[in-house]
Amino acid sequence: MISRVADHCFWVGRYIERAESTARLLQVTRALAFDAELPPLHCWRPLMIVSGQFPEFSAHFGADAAGNGDIVQRYMTWAPENPVSISTSVRSAREGARSIREVLGHEIWQATNELYLWFASEEAGAVYVHDRDEVYRNIRRGTQLCLGLVRSTMLHDEPMDFLWLGVLLERIGQTARILDMHHHIQGAADAPQTLLQTALWLSLLRACSGFEAFMRREQGRVSREAAVSFLLFEARFPRSLRYCVRSALALSQRLDVNIDSEPWEGSEPPAKGSARQSQASPTRTHGKGAVTAARTRLDALDRWLDTQEAKDIPLTVHALLTHVIDEASTACQELQAGVEGATTVAARIQKQEAAQ
Amino acid sequence: MLTIEPSAPPDQLFAGYQPIAGTYDELVEQGGRTRDHARVVANILANMTPDTFARSQALAELALAQKGVTFSVYSDQRGTEKVMPVCLVPRVIAAAEWARLERGLVQRLTALQLFLDDLYGEQRVLADRVVPAELVLASRQYVPRLRGLKPPGGVRIHIAGVDLIRSPDGVMRVLEDNLRTPSGVSYVIENRLVTKRMFPTALERLGVRRVDDYPIQLVEMLRSVSPVDPEKSTVVVLTPGPFNSAYFEHSFLARSMGIELVEASDLFVTGDEVFVRTTTGPRRVHVIYRRTDDAFIDQEFFRPDSMLGVPGLMRAWAAGKVALANAPGNGVADDKAIYPFVPDLVRYYLGEEPLIEQVPTQVCARRADCQYVLEHLDQLVVKAVDEAGGYGMLMGPQASAAELEEFRARIVADPRKYIAQHRIELSTCPTWIAADRRLEPRRIDLRPYVVTGKDGSWVMPGGLTRVALRAGSYVVNSSQGGGSKDTWVQADAAS
């Protein structure tokens, strides 16, 4: 698989997942704000904080703007200058898909393109004004269609593995951020009442598409402990951190094995003379493939989650989430560096060749 | 006395359609009678109203936009994409005429391939004075450094897209041989998918030949010229990247052939062999269908400032380690300066008369021709031989006196640089004009695609029919207001 293509696959997965997650979070937060039990600032500012864009947002619109749901939603939905807006994610997913159209196949490409075209259309703008929920629903439907097609039409092979790894690593970050919203709401001046606490937890569960699954597991008993443990550790729930980390680990193990065990492809050795072959051999050494570093980190993160679950007094949820977000983000960087690294090794061989 | 106007009801799409006087219409004869082979199409149109047609047309355009069947516009730095305009009224070609065209195209391309082999080899053709040596050797497209090199697999013109036009006498003529990186074939296949949806039964009734096996033919051909066992060969499509105007097509072809689409930075050359960078390390490449122009493919060999090249690629090609389709250096054979001599090349190399006509052309390098051109400047289309895309061109009948004088001076100063042709009244086809909600005659051309491998040539039945959508226009280029139509080639005369 071409290294550039692997990188694109990874990012297409991340952007699609990010667009869906952002749409869902906006939709749920909007519903929460409508209940009017929390002041708007307590609904929307935490969302801005976990998005990572709060400083830029405040600098542009003023610190009070985070209490204005319309400004926040417009910024998170449409702003092209916002790197995590739905608009940016959809456009980037589509740009990425366009340059690997031949790898994704026409159905996935077309689903991505149709989503992009609809979102950029005047119609979407009009719907946003009159029926905003429908915009968020359409984004979610569109992205879910894309991801569904990925699993049901692509070869379950390297390109899909890279794409899905992007989805899972993005999802780890998104779930962790949504859960962390609670910390920031709590941190606000007047902490909410118990009744409101329940509403808040249900809202966060909805933002992770986990409401029904959670209620089934707990048979309707809502508590902070149960909600946190569900979103962190429930291995059967596909958006929990435990599930995402384990699945990402499994994918990276599969990729790592495939990438390491394959000999030179093609019918002939890479170059004449054994000296040159040995120059190329660093890429072949077992345990040093493009995804090895990311795999090792995910492995450690998975074990770390185990120890946290077993502890009687775990870290604060906020500290735990911060660690998970940092580790997932580093794994992303390592993965990218690894994929580029394969390219770098090839470039080095080429340079040495030229020097001779 | 009461008279009843014989005008057809306004809700009939095809009512009142009239060909342009003095021009061949592909569907209707001058008297208004439908051409026999196109009757099925005329019947479909007769049964449609402007409303139903407009609806189909809108659906077709939406489908193409959603599929991302686009080309990029260069004038825009961000590479804005536009959907190739399509007109649903197809252009029909009778089986017998197509059979003649096929033979003519293969014959012409065979001669051009022999010409290239000769030119980059012994140069008998120059010694025998079939083509003036000074004309060929002065061509910017001639690459002297390629002399003595043979392409792996022996083929040079793997993919040709020959532009044909039909003159008022009904004769199809070659206007231009595109032997470098002709584009447009993806639109042919996409257009067919659209017409299939809109006119499902017509294709069947008429027995239209399929076009969707092009990618299979193409990849078989590419494998056939591999320097190693075709079954063990890696074939890739090389694109300049997503901002190239034909990027859609590069991606389309790679996808439908099931092979990798690569950019220059994905490839590197070591030990005269070409490799692609993969997640599992370098992998040897044997055949490259490259959609990057000669000038940019290798900064070691051609332009050193190219950002789209693979350093050393030409070295690998010269060493016979990688096949490039099309071969470098082909441009000299589709040069405007060589065009007037192609019928002579057919006679010289094959000992046959050309089976396909071309447009009579004056070569200003010849004294008598030059005299004629200067005397008839206001009636001729004059083209500079080393310019393309409508630059350095004089449209005599539309030019001002000042423009004519300016060109006259240029021709006198350097006659070898110019050729001239009478303007051909391109044939027309009924075309949907959305603003007027009716069909009007618009001028068209035809670009059939010929794929040539080790074992011979295959002509795609049909090709890209391009249409000048503006009234009175002769320019069919998509960059200048042109659109396309589906081309229906009948399976055989009986059906």
Query: Tens digits of per-residue pLDDT, B176-216?
Result: 999 999 999 999 999 998 898 888 788 888 889 999 999 99
| Position with higher pLDDT, B107 vs B476 | B107
- How far is the C-alpha of A95 from the C-alpha of A81, rounded, in Å? 16
Q: Give the lowest-confidence range in A28-37, A264-273, B191-200.
A: A264-273
In B, which residues are within 8 Å of A266 by CB distance? 232, 234, 283-284
- How far is the C-alpha of A253 from the C-alpha of A300, rounded, in Å? 13
Is B68 in the A-facing interface, judged by CB distances under 8 Å?
yes
Is B62 in the A-facing interface, judged by CB distances under 8 Å?
no
- The CA-based dihedral angle spanning residues A296, A302, A304, A309, taken in that order and rounded to the nearest 10 degrees: 180
State whether B284 and A98 contact (CB < 8 Å): no
Any domain includes A161: yes
What average pLDDT score do residues A72-91 get? 96
Q: Which of the four pLDDT bands, split at 50, 70 and 90, describes residue A134?
A: very high
pLDDT at A252 over 60: yes
Q: Which of the four pLDDT bands, split at 50, 70 and 90, describes residue A275?
A: very low
C-beta atoms surrounding A47 within 10 Å? 28
pLDDT at B297 over 80: yes
- pTM for the full predicted model: 0.83
Closest by Cβ to B270, choosing from A268, A290, A350: A350
Percent residues over pLDDT 90 in chain B: 67
Q: Which residue of A has its CA nearest to B264?
A: A4
What average pLDDT score do residues A341-346 get? 54
State whether A101 and B265 contact (CB < 8 Å): no
Residues with Cβ within 8 Å of residue B11, at least 6 apart in sequence: B49, B50, B51
| Position with higher pLDDT, B1 vs B442 | B442
- How far is the C-alpha of A311 from the C-alpha of A164, rounded, in Å? 31
pLDDT at residue A324, rounded to an integer = 92
Any domain includes A71: yes
When divided into structural domains, chain A yields a total of 1
State whether A346 and B275 contact (CB < 8 Å): yes
For an interface test with A, give the residue of B279, B283, B291 to mutate (most A CBs within 10 A): B279
pLDDT at A20 over 90: yes
State whether B280 and A259 contact (CB < 8 Å): yes
- How far is the C-alpha of B349 from the C-alpha of B340, rounded, in Å? 16
Contacts of A297-304 spanning 24+ positions with Cβ under 8 A = A297/A327, A297/A330, A297/A331, A297/A334, A298/A245, A298/A248, A298/A249, A298/A252, A298/A331, A299/A249, A300/A327, A301/A245, A301/A249, A301/A327, A301/A328, A301/A331, A302/A242, A302/A245, A302/A246, A302/A249
* Stretch(es) of chain B classified as CATH 3.30.1490.270: 360-422
- How far is the C-alpha of B124 from the C-alpha of B456, rounded, in Å? 24
Q: Which residue of B has its CA nearest to A288?
A: B280
Q: Give the lowest-confidence range in A131-135, B5-9, B156-160, B347-351.
A: B5-9
pLDDT at B427 over 50: yes
pLDDT at residue A280, rounded to an integer = 38
pLDDT at residue B391, rounded to an integer = 64
| Position with higher pLDDT, A292 vs B477 | A292
C-beta atoms surrounding B280 within 10 Å? 22
**Which tokens sit at A91?**
């456009």
3-state SS, one letter per residue, for B183-197 = CCHHHHHHHHHHHHH
Any domain includes A119: yes
pLDDT at residue B339, rounded to an integer = 94
What average pLDDT score do residues A57-68 get? 93
What average pLDDT score do residues A81-101 get? 95
pLDDT at residue B73, rounded to an integer = 65
Q: Is A244 exposed, middle or buried (0-12, 13-18, 19+ CB in 10 A)?
A: buried
pLDDT at A312 over 80: no
Q: What integer best gives the mean pLDDT of chain A?
A: 84
**Which tokens sit at B180?**
């470098």
pLDDT at residue A287, rounded to an integer = 45
pLDDT at A276 over 70: no
pLDDT at A278 over 80: no
Instruction: Show the domain range for A162.
Output: 3-182
Q: What integer best gives the mean pLDDT of chain B?
A: 90
Q: Does the ipTM surpass 0.90?
A: no
| Position with higher pLDDT, B233 vs A270 | B233
Q: Which of A215-219, A239-243, B488-492 has the highest mean pLDDT?
A: A239-243
pLDDT at A347 over 60: no
Residues 239-278 of B with CB under 8 A from A: 241-242, 251-252, 254-255, 260-263, 265-266, 268-271, 273, 275-278
| DSSP SS3 for A176 | helix
pLDDT at residue B317, rounded to an integer = 97
pLDDT at residue B273, rounded to an integer = 96
Any domain includes A106: yes
φ and ψ of B370, to 5 deg: -60, -45
Q: How close A265 gets to chain B, by Cα (Å)?
A: 6
One-letter amino acid for residue A75 of the chain: Y
| DSSP SS3 for B80 | coil
pLDDT at residue B3, rounded to an integer = 45
**Which tokens sit at B232?**
């063990």
**Which tokens sit at B176?**
């231009």
| Position with higher pLDDT, B381 vs A37 | B381
pLDDT at B315 over 60: yes
pLDDT at residue A271, rounded to an integer = 40
Q: How close A267 gets to chain B, by Cα (Å)?
A: 7
Any domain includes A345: no
| Position with higher pLDDT, B481 vs B486 | B486
In A, which residues are within 8 Å of B260 by CB distance? 2, 5, 102
pLDDT at residue A86, rounded to an integer = 97
In B, which residues are within 8 Å of A105 by CB distance? 255
φ and ψ of A37, to 5 deg: -85, -25
Residues in chain A: 356
Q: Is A313 exposed, middle or buried (0-12, 13-18, 19+ CB in 10 A)?
A: exposed
Do residues B178 and B172 make contact, with C-beta atoms less than 8 angstroms apart? Answer: no
Q: Is the peptide bond before B326 cis (omega within 30 degrees of 0)?
A: yes
The CATH classification number of B360-422 equals: 3.30.1490.270
pLDDT at residue A273, rounded to an integer = 37
pLDDT at residue B66, rounded to an integer = 86
Residue range B258-284, pLDDT digits in tens = 899 999 999 999 999 999 988 888 899
State whether A353 and B271 contact (CB < 8 Å): yes
pLDDT at residue A267, rounded to an integer = 37
Residue range B228-249, pLDDT digits in tens = 999 999 999 999 998 888 899 9
Furthest-apart CA atoms within chain B: distance in Å? 93
Residue range B99-154, pLDDT digits in tens = 999 999 999 999 999 999 999 999 999 999 999 898 898 888 999 999 999 999 99
- How far is the C-alpha of A154 from the C-alpha of B151, rounded, in Å? 37
pLDDT at A265 over 50: no
